Structure 1
Amino acid sequence: MNPSWWKGGAVLGLVALAYLTGRYQAPDADAGGAVKDSRAGASSEETAFAESKTGRQTKSERQLSGFKSAVPFAPGGAREWFMTKGRENCEDSFTGLLQLIQNCATLDERAAEELAVELRDILKLYDAGDPEMRAAFDGDDLQERGLAATVFRLSQLNPQAALRFLQESPDIDRRGEMLEMVFANAALKDPAEAKALLSGLDDKMLRGAMEGVMGTLTGKNPQAAFDLLSGFTQADLDGERRKFVEKITKDDPAQAIKYAQTWVKSGRDARLVGSVVDDWMRTDPEAARAFGESYRGPGEARVKGILIKHAAETDPRKAAEAFAALGTEAANMGDTGIIVAKKYVAADLPGARVWIDSLPAGQAKDLATQELVDRWVKSEPLAAADWIDKMPAGPQRNDASIKLINSIRMRYPQEALDWAGSLSDQKQRETMQQHVLEGWKEIDPEAAEAAGKKL
């Protein structure tokens, strides 16, 4: 089977599609694992399964699909079942992929748990170089994709059992992705159960599991998603809080603001309010600006920075003045500083240089300086060189010098070589000297050789 069909998250996406469409659900089972069947005289699992499939698909659908119904296996038959079913339709990679997903998506809980354990062992044998497994799966990763589909199915039926299996399997590949889908299904099944399962995780697993929960629950029940995430205070989950308010902003920015403010007031990341305002500005700038200008509270400077960043699109000079007025609050607002710098440098390079000089030391000034140098060394390299020469020694001056060297090395090789020699970092100095000499050799080999000897 062509392995290209099995890479990335394709199998997980197709499993999810099968689940959401509801076409590949196993028949209900009673507590003992026996398949329920209302037909008189039907007792075999195979007959019940076939009847269940027939009831869900028309004859034409079955003919078009080309799939063969997966016959449930008796206890202890997981490996033989998978080895047989995994090779069906192997002449057609895509059909084989869908066949595998269908087979795994119709397992009952007992079979899914048994197959997951068996596939984990198959993977271990394969990785250890077992001849039988190498021969069976050489050139593809059927067993890995089968495991993903099986864990997905188990998580539909019993998320706790699926989680337990993953916790007992620390070495299997793609465990993080499987963890996400387990908790996505747990959230669909019962948000309260999902929260209880999350509470038992260590911090390392919590983040990935929460991503699965929020990815599912946010669209289905935003309030439940908010309530669930509010029960966890870990800073590692700030990214999930930010993604949550960004999604809510698309449909209801006012509600997103309320969610963000609630979290910020309880000590969560103060940048959340700014994130909402940033997205809001793209859909309703007047309302977002009105809120931002009146906002007072945690993250206030961040909100002002967002408004300034958007104002730079139409009036960079005015935006630069507003940014400078923030004083030391602006020092680490690098994302705003670089946007303003890009617009201001493009509109008025001399004015932007004066503005950048006035900024307090910090991330914003560093990034704005990089933007200034990028443009200046290309348009006026000699003027830029005078300004760079006055910068204090250190990494930022070195970075600016390297940009200047790269800009002038073919036009002014001797000056570029002199600048390379001024770099304070020895490794950078030697690298750039060699770089200049290589370029110089292309236009004047004799002069380049003479200069190299002097070094």
Structure 2
Amino acid sequence: MIRDSGEAANDRHGAIQTIRLSFPRLLASGKLSAVEAYRLIDSAKAGHSVLGLNTLPQIWNGLSADGLAEAARSLAAEPPGDQLGRALGGVANAWMKADPAAAAAFIAQIQDRELRADAYAGCFASGSGGEVGPRAQAEILAGIPADDRAEVFASYLARYGDPKPGERNWSGVKIDPELLGPVFKDLPPSPALNRSITITTREWGQENPAAALAWADSLADGGTRQAAYAGTFEGWAFQDPHAAANWLADKAEGSERDAATLPLVRNLLKSDAGAAWEWSDSIGDSALRLDARVSTLQAWSKRDPEAAQAAYHQIASTLPAAEAAKLSACLTGS
């Protein structure tokens, strides 16, 4: 079949694309094993190909629960590959519908943490080929063990990139922060949790910053609270930077305030670089303060180079040499 299709399509990728709708029938009949299907689709590495993206998550629904169990075991034993997580995620999605207890037990014992997260993330696909809605998404997450939950969500989000505040035509994951808040609360700290919380509170900050900040303050871990403050202010300051600044002006100095000030600065500088510069100076953390100053000077020097240079020279003598040099390099004409 591949050979005959290949003659018509003139290339291997085209041949596999031509017969991809036959994969479910071939798998269900036993004429093609799960590993053979995965390897075949993975071998079609034409430039910018979405064959794996469009095929691997959706070809397993014709298998029985036993067939899905065997497919999962055989795929989990494969060497690492670009498409392996997508294939195993597709199997997991179908298996969760056929025998959720057995599927969940199998996924939980996968030793490779990244592959385990990919398998869980596959469960968010809907039967129509899209993604489940926010409520089902939160329910699936709540059923994933706490140690894996944040990494699963981060892996899921990574498939679509990082949505920015106000981004139009976003076709990725739709989330409901109020549903996700309880799912993430009290999870063990990790970089994946910080990423998940930053993205969740970024949405929340655009919709209801007061609720987002109340939730942030309820978090026990300091690093997680900082991520929540940063995300909330990315969203809020995008929508209304002056309202966000007015609220933050009354916030006591500390790590949460610093985390919130950096996204505030980056939004203020679009319309008021002088105010952004003043806020940059209020950041206590030296690394975040430098980031804020660099962002501000780079933008300010393009719009009003004289004002930017004047602001820089007011503080230049107080700065360490390396920091002064970095800021000086941001000024046009310096």
Does TM, normalized by the shorter one, top 0.5?
yes
> Residue 249 of structure 2: SS of its match in structure 1?
helix
> Retained in 2: the 8 A contact 1:163–1:182?
no
Which residue is equivalent to 1:225? 180
Matched, 1:351 2:292: no
What TM-score, normalized to structure 2? 0.62
> Retained in 1: the 8 A contact 2:89–2:122?
no
Q: CA distance change for structure 1 residues 87 and 301 in 2, over 3 Å: closer, same or farther?
A: closer
> Retained in 1: the 8 A contact 2:57–2:122?
no
Q: 1:320 aligns with which of 267, 277, 283?
A: 277
Q: CA distance change for structure 1 residues 158 and 335 in 2, over 3 Å: closer, same or farther?
A: farther
> Residue 268 of structure 1: SS of its match in structure 2?
helix
Q: CA distance change for structure 1 residues 72 and 266 in 2, over 3 Å: closer, same or farther?
A: same
Matched, 1:209 2:156: no
> Residue 224 of structure 2: SS of its match in structure 1?
coil
Q: 1:270 aligns with which of 192, 217, 226?
A: 226
Alpha-carbon offset, residue 113 of structure 1:
0.8
What TM-score, normalized to structure 1? 0.48
Which residue is equivalent to 1:279? 235
Alpha-carbon offset, residue 219 of structure 1:
4.3
Which residue is equivalent to 1:150? 91
Matches of 2:37 and 2:279, distance apart in 1: 69
Which residue is equivalent to 1:369? 325
Q: CA distance change for structure 1 residues 78 and 171 in 2, over 3 Å: closer, same or farther?
A: farther
> Retained in 1: the 8 A contact 2:301–2:330?
no
Q: 2:257 aligns with which of 279, 300, 318?
A: 300
Which residue is equivalent to 1:422? none
Q: CA distance change for structure 1 residues 198 and 307 in 2, over 3 Å: closer, same or farther?
A: same
> Retained in 2: the 8 A contact 1:233–1:268?
no
Write out per-residue CA displacement over residues 381-431 of structure 1, whole angstroms, 9 at most, x where no aligned residue.
xxxxxxxxxxxxxxxxxxxxxxxxxxxxxxxxxxxxxxxxxxxxxxxxxxx
1:149 alignment partner AA: G
Q: 1:341 aligns with which of 274, 292, 297?
A: 297
What aligned pairs does 1:92-171 form with structure 2 within 5 A after superposition?
Answer: 102-120=58-76, 123=78, 146-166=87-107, 168-170=109-111
Matches of 1:147 and 1:304, distance apart in 2: 41
What aligned pairs does 1:357-396 form with structure 2 within 5 A after superposition?
Answer: 357-359=316-318, 361=320, 366=322, 369-373=325-329, 375=331, 379=333
Matches of 1:149 and 1:375, distance apart in 2: 51
1:180 alignment partner AA: A
For the pair shown, the structure with the greater C-alpha radius of gyration is 1
2:286 alignment partner AA: A
> Retained in 2: the 8 A contact 1:338–1:371?
yes
Which residue is equivalent to 2:121? 180
> Retained in 1: the 8 A contact 2:117–2:151?
yes
Alpha-carbon offset, residue 229 of structure 1:
0.6
Q: CA distance change for structure 1 residues 280 and 224 in 2, over 3 Å: closer, same or farther?
A: closer
1:211 alignment partner AA: A
Which residue is equivalent to 2:196? 240
- RMSD over aligned CA atoms reads 5.0
> Residue 70 of structure 1: SS of its match in structure 2?
helix
> Retained in 2: the 8 A contact 1:155–1:182?
yes
Alpha-carbon offset, residue 357 of structure 1:
1.6
Matches of 1:95 and 1:267, distance apart in 2: 37
> Residue 270 of structure 1: SS of its match in structure 2?
helix
Matches of 1:321 and 1:96, distance apart in 2: 51
Alpha-carbon offset, residue 238 of structure 1:
1.9
Alpha-carbon offset, residue 112 of structure 1:
0.8
Matches of 2:329 and 2:119, distance apart in 1: 46
Q: CA distance change for structure 1 residues 219 and 307 in 2, over 3 Å: closer, same or farther?
A: closer
Write out per-residue CA displacement over residues 160-196 of structure 1, whole angstroms, 9 at most, x where no aligned residue.
5345434555469955433432478999769567445
Unaligned stretches of 5+ residues in structure 1 = 6-10, 12-64, 128-139, 381-455
Q: 1:329 aligns with which of 277, 284, 291?
A: 284
1:222 alignment partner AA: P
Alpha-carbon offset, residue 234 of structure 1:
1.2
Which residue is equivalent to 1:444? none
2:62 alignment partner AA: T
Q: 2:145 aligns with which of 195, 198, 209?
A: 198
Matches of 1:341 and 1:310, distance apart in 2: 13
> Would you say how many aligned residue pairs link Structure 1 and Structure 2?
291
Write out per-residue CA displacement over residues 44-74 of structure 1, whole angstroms, 9 at most, x where no aligned residue.
xxxxxxxxxxxxxxxxxxxxx9758727858
Matches of 1:95 and 1:354, distance apart in 2: 52
Q: CA distance change for structure 1 residues 148 and 215 in 2, over 3 Å: closer, same or farther?
A: closer
Alpha-carbon offset, residue 244 of structure 1:
1.0
> Residue 105 of structure 1: SS of its match in structure 2?
coil
Matches of 1:279 and 1:305, distance apart in 2: 12
Q: Which has the higher contact order (CA 8 A, sep 6+)?
A: 2
> Residue 226 of structure 2: SS of its match in structure 1?
coil
Write out per-residue CA displacement over residues 218-252 of structure 1, whole angstroms, 9 at most, x where no aligned residue.
94653331112102141432222111101222333
Matches of 1:270 and 1:145, distance apart in 2: 32
Unaligned stretches of 5+ residues in structure 2 = 3-10, 127-131, 160-172
Matches of 1:310 and 1:141, distance apart in 2: 37
Matched, 1:250 2:206: yes
Which residue is equivalent to 2:167? none
> Retained in 2: the 8 A contact 1:179–1:208?
no
